[in-house]
Structure 1
């Protein structure tokens, strides 16, 4: 069975790469010149290709991980193809590096799916393969496989680091985490998530042991009463754990490589006088709490094929009926956060090439009350996310939510690319969907990908004072 599964997965990998290459060829023919952020990334990579490592474009905000990996991939290829040593670093060649990351991401998603859903070995093979394929075609990530952006490599190294964490190779995971930070500094949050899962596992063990002795909790883990007393129990447990030298020592013995990464990152921030490398005026940290609500809505939309069902809808209605006061308080808090903390980046309002521009213009700017009227949707989306993760332990969920907040809230710019890694982490940890649901998810991804690629290739336009061709994109 495992051998047969391997054959299926290999065939799908080959098909995926062939289809991606055909799309890549079409897109590169239509858009030969660097586009959008490529106007910064491509020249910088070409400087690295020519050995000019001391030259840097101050408009680039990320560390040079993408360019270093690119040189490491392209240089040997050039040496093998051209013995004269002539350096070839065209825009198409640079973009092709992300197609390689696409193959790597598909393989890592498959390995992660197998590791996280190992209990269903006998009948889960087709679902594991299809789930990995579906996630590798996740529209926002898949689109940027065809441009020279950092998203493919950033996702690859975070997924690889998390896989190593699950296998207990924490030194390798920490090293891969450093590589991911070189692609995007905010990935330090997901390196912390890798460490957080170790802490959560330790907490789970102690929680189960304590409540098994007391025999007052038949299903330890996430099944904590959603009440004031339940919250007190968890808070008391967290306090006791974090103030226990014995428990902290046990965690540090395992998680110390991640602590080393954290120290290196702190040193970088101090030396760099901030997280962002360049263009600091346009990328300042802030408290934009509605970003969390935008992510929850985004996750609700893309997870509908695998999360929407009659039983889940009934559970939500029952939860509303049982705890009306809790939902009123949550709605009130959401209204307050939307009222006081909604921030709008000037790039969002000025650049009509990105889809978030139209989301903001046609939804949020329709009327001043719209952002408040969407609060019930945010509450539903938040409940749906937690309900999809209810098979995970309480402390794992808390670690994930903490990292989700840390990755979303400080971002002022509404940019769907920032949602790629948190969404993949959320979707990977859901129970493995049935084959019909996975096919629906794959169909949704295919339709969105077809639409966005069609718009990018065919629906071009011009700005009034520019002769350059403009295209729609994520």
Structure 2
């Protein structure tokens, strides 16, 4: 996997050009963000990812210069477009032509040919900008958590840069930066939509220009891959619904004492309908809080639908309408649509005044037995955990039993890693697929636990926001350690923002992931890229070990985990690239005859 530095090599000249472009990006960042450190960080991140991607492209070009696997469809289609024949289409391609159109625009602007190398190089450029988009997304999330509502902030934390680089190095994503596939561009344009979304929720009333951008970027994401609709409309649109609800700011009121269950339910439904929803910090949320959060948001959305549509989400509805037209014309989300639930389990703020008052309940009168039982069950977290575990076991087992659909393509192509995953797990013996059920649940639980972060890292004032429940969520929030008792590794505003967990409404990521995965006919690692990217953007930074005092040791504790993540990703990338480059093989028939015209086959994601 040698990196040749021949000045006459096309990729060297292109690299020089993009170094100059990165320099321009740095100058722009300095002038726009007002911080030379931020500009330098963006510049260095761009160059680092670009160098690694060009090294990978160089190796792929040397050992696999001709189109490989899905490139056999993508490359000729792009070259047909390059010749101006836009009425020619390969029916075997199941994604829209966005990749080819944008590639042709890029090659014509840079006066490059539509060779296999140039087409692959397009993804090298995109993966570099994807890293910057991830950095900006992470930084804007942190600024929103700390209440910074200016369009640009003068600081981007180290955590933002490290997160962005690690997202670009995510093995499944980075691998395809050296091939002409849709995944890198698809992820990039969705991140552009996410950046636009984060800008929209900085204000109570988005501008017309912002709404137009939302439509244009949304349509762009659909033009690259149809299933992006679930992230652009369901996830981002859903988060904007929550944002509008939180800006309604109903007048605060004292929680009365209730005698009957119906009185209590009526009160909370009334408060939810006004926009006083239940959306606590994820680190103090129990399973019942997830249910209450969904109920409160649904009630508020229905009762304030006109305001929500007119003020915020009408651009998303335009994008959704375009998607519906496409589905009606195409006959489905993707060609060969099949609902495949197993794929889900194999992958596994600005407060309103009413939410800051924390009103006390007045002394409770004699309560009905139904009310006491309801509140007791709602506050019994041991019971919740037992029911959740039992329910997860039952549902997952039923999914495995009745929805284990193994697509013929999965077993027909031994070039993909998933072929061997299926072969040596659920196809090996009938009981193994059921033995994996606890593994699925544990993996899902670990993903959720990681999103919760360190319970002591949330600011106490943040934990008290958006809590409206008859159960004991508020008491758990108020029992959090005061600022003086929080770990001393929380040493600056940027670190504070990095360690704050998301709110409960972030569970919308689960809905978007489920919709995007169950509508895919195949189990492919590539389909998990976007769910992982958004999950990773939301994961709060956590100290690797407790420390006393501030200083270098506390920073080492905080950034050790991202460092280990980087090393881990580099090792996986090195292993998969090594196998792809150095372990070619040939398909042979029973009589030893070469198949597929004697073409070289390679292992890949």
TM-score normalised over the length of structure 2: 0.67
2:240 corresponding residue in structure 1: 198
1:284 corresponding residue in structure 2: 337
Q: How do 1:329-344 residues align onto structure 2 when only pairs under 5 Å count?
A: 329-344=391-406
Tell me which of 445, 457, 462 is aligned to 2:581: 457
1:311 corresponding residue in structure 2: none
1:423 corresponding residue in structure 2: 532
3-state SS, counterpart of residue 347 of structure 2: helix
**Is the 2:38–2:156 Cα contact (8 Å) retained in structure 1?**
no
**Is the 2:173–2:526 Cα contact (8 Å) retained in structure 1?**
yes
1:111-165 deviation digits (Å, cap 9, x = unpaired): 0111112257999722221111111100000000000000111011100001001
Q: Residues 15, 201 of structure 1: CA spacing in aligned structure 2 closer, same or farther, 3 A cutoff?
A: same
**Is the 1:289–1:341 Cα contact (8 Å) retained in structure 2?**
yes
Tell me which of 189, 192, 198 is aligned to 1:166: 198
Q: Residues 423, 213 of structure 1: CA spacing in aligned structure 2 closer, same or farther, 3 A cutoff?
A: farther
2:171 corresponding residue in structure 1: 139
- Is 1:443 aligned with 2:567? yes
Q: Residues 248, 34 of structure 1: CA spacing in aligned structure 2 closer, same or farther, 3 A cutoff?
A: same
2:317 corresponding residue in structure 1: 259
1:300 corresponding residue in structure 2: none
**Is the 1:141–1:151 Cα contact (8 Å) retained in structure 2?**
yes
Between 137-146 and 409-418, the greater mean CA deviation after superposition: 409-418
- Is 1:226 aligned with 2:287? yes
CA distance in 1, matches of 2:433, 2:251: 45
RMSD: 2.7
Q: How do 1:32-47 residues align onto structure 2 when only pairs under 5 Å count?
A: 32-47=65-80
CA distance in 1, matches of 2:504, 2:567: 32
1:317-370 deviation digits (Å, cap 9, x = unpaired): x98797323312221111111111111001111111001111111122222111
> Residue 102 of structure 1: CA displacement?
0.6
1:200-235 deviation digits (Å, cap 9, x = unpaired): 2234556x96887539999952556534xx677556
- Is 1:392 aligned with 2:502? yes
Q: Residues 262, 367 of structure 1: CA spacing in aligned structure 2 closer, same or farther, 3 A cutoff?
A: same
CA distance in 2, matches of 1:269, 1:97: 29
Tell me which of 403, 408, 411 is aligned to 1:349: 411
Q: Which has the higher contact order (CA 8 A, sep 6+)?
A: 1
2:346 corresponding residue in structure 1: 294
Unaligned runs of 5+ in 1: 82-87, 297-317
CA distance in 2, matches of 1:33, 1:231: 50
Per residue, is there more helix in 1 or in 2?
1
CA distance in 1, matches of 2:278, 2:154: 26
CA distance in 1, matches of 2:215, 2:277: 37
Tell me which of 412, 429, 441 is aligned to 1:379: 441
Q: Residues 124, 153 of structure 1: CA spacing in aligned structure 2 closer, same or farther, 3 A cutoff?
A: closer
Aligned length: 434
1:468 corresponding residue in structure 2: 599
1:315 corresponding residue in structure 2: none
CA distance in 2, matches of 1:36, 1:166: 37
Tell me which of 120, 123, 139 is aligned to 1:114: 139
Q: Residues 232, 421 of structure 1: CA spacing in aligned structure 2 closer, same or farther, 3 A cutoff?
A: closer
CA distance in 1, matches of 2:215, 2:286: 36
CA distance in 1, matches of 2:539, 2:60: 34
3-state SS, counterpart of residue 52 of structure 1: coil
**Is the 2:70–2:181 Cα contact (8 Å) retained in structure 1?**
yes
1:84 corresponding residue in structure 2: none
CA distance in 2, matches of 1:232, 1:26: 50
TM-score normalised over the length of structure 1: 0.85
Q: Residues 371, 212 of structure 1: CA spacing in aligned structure 2 closer, same or farther, 3 A cutoff?
A: farther
Tell me which of 94, 99, 102 is aligned to 1:66: 99
> Residue 404 of structure 1: CA displacement?
1.2
Tell me which of 369, 388, 392 is aligned to 1:326: 388
Q: Residues 202, 462 of structure 1: CA spacing in aligned structure 2 closer, same or farther, 3 A cutoff?
A: same
- Is 1:130 aligned with 2:162? yes
Q: Residues 320, 142 of structure 1: CA spacing in aligned structure 2 closer, same or farther, 3 A cutoff?
A: farther
Unaligned runs of 5+ in 2: 1-33, 147-152, 201-209, 257-267, 269-275, 349-379, 453-500, 543-557, 589-593
Tell me which of 42, 48, 58 is aligned to 2:81: 48
Q: Residues 388, 344 of structure 1: CA spacing in aligned structure 2 closer, same or farther, 3 A cutoff?
A: same
1:176 corresponding residue in structure 2: 217
3-state SS, counterpart of residue 363 of structure 1: coil
1:68-99 deviation digits (Å, cap 9, x = unpaired): 00110111222xx7xxxxxx211111111101
3-state SS, counterpart of residue 259 of structure 1: helix
